[in-house]
Amino acid sequence: MGVPAACRRAYPGASSAGLQRYVQSLNELIDLHGKRVNVETWVRIPDMVFITLALLTLLMMTLTGYLLGLRERRYGFPTVVMIVT
């Protein structure tokens, strides 16, 4: 793995091995932060909430499609909303 040119310009007196260790530890820090944010987001909300939300969405989309199919007139807005969802 090479040392980025920006690091060489920022630290002109540093050795290449030192800069490689710095870049590697910085990448590990960024990866660790990403994992922490991901875990913090998904563990905080119980799985049952996601399942219930998905089932309610499916039910509402099915009922909306069925009721719009019973009418003779087409409604564009609800169709576009369901497509985007």
pLDDT at residue 1 greater than cutoff 70: no
User: Are residues 31 and 59 located together in one domain of the fold?
Assistant: no
Number of domains in the chain: 2
Of 54, 60, 78, the closest CA to residue 68 belongs to: 78
Pick the residue with more confidence: 19 or 53? 53
Cα separation of 75 and 58, whole Å?
19
pLDDT at residue 65 greater than cutoff 70: yes
User: Are residues 60 and 30 located together in one domain of the fold?
Assistant: no
User: Are residues 36 and 59 located together in one domain of the fold?
Assistant: no
∠ CA 42-48-51, rounded to 5°: 95
pTM over the 0.95 mark: no
DSSP label at 15? -
Question: Radius of gyration of the chain from Cα atoms?
Answer: 26
Average pLDDT, the chain: 80
Cα separation of 84 and 47, whole Å?
24
User: What domain range is 69 assigned to?
Assistant: 46-85
User: Are residues 32 and 55 located together in one domain of the fold?
Assistant: no
